[in-house]
Amino acid sequence: MNSISIASFYHYVFVCLVALFPPVNPFGTAFIVGPFLKGLSTRRRMQSAAAIAIYCLGICITFTLLGGFFFKLFGISVPVVQIAGGMLIARMGFSILSATDPQEDQEKVVDNDNAARNKSLKSMLFYPLAFPTTTGGGTISVLMALSANSYHENHAIHMFNLLATSVACVILALIIFACYSLTPTILDRLNLQALQVANKFSGFLTFCVGIQIMVDGVLGVAKILIKG
């Protein structure tokens, strides 16, 4: 965006939102995160969904504003983040697929009064549910590209571009909150057998997402080595 106007602002927000939507995939990821929130009270579920959305927003804003500096400071490349994040996501998916007692897993999910579960869930809201499950290496790479694309020699235009990118991140966080807070309600309407199928499907989907992110990271490393 090389000019400051309301029309150009809306256009850039839309472009950023479209670019960020595929790697985040809030609708699909909601069925991965949903089983972790299922069985909670409405208030607790809303709080958990809000916490995940806020964490995701914080990650997006941070990498939008400081992404390039962050990687240069620690000497970390985006492909490495993709590989590491993909491994973690794939492991989580595999743990769901390899569960030997679905009935026991279901009882763990629906036990509202289990203080240990609530404490465990609280520790999982940022890692791995917000990062890298929702906003991982793919999202960071897109944010890095958007951050680079936002640069302009005119300081006012540069700040205007960053503001538009940040607004897109806020809209995405609101979508994440809506998806994550409503998906467990849908899962609550499923019977045990259907829930088991949904859990296994979400586990398989999680595993595939993790493998795909790892592959993207390996390809990214290969490109760096070839260019080097």
Report pLDDT digits (tens) over 93-113: 787 788 765 444 444 444 444
Inform me whether the pLDDT recorded for 64 exceeds 70: yes
For the chain, the average pLDDT equals: 81
Inform me whether the pLDDT recorded for 60 exceeds 60: yes
pLDDT of residue 32: 84
pTM over 0.85: no
E-assigned strands of 121-221?
none
Are 160 and 78 contacting, i.e. CB atoms less than 8 angstroms apart?
no
Could you tell me which of 78, 225, 56, 212 has the C-alpha nearest to residue 145? 78
What is the pLDDT averaged over residues 144-151?
77
User: Which of 186-190's residues contact partners 24+ apart within 8 Å by CB, and which partners?
Assistant: 186/34, 187/34, 187/35, 187/38, 188/38, 188/39
Inform me whether the pLDDT recorded for 18 exceeds 90: no
What is the pLDDT averaged over residues 80-101?
76
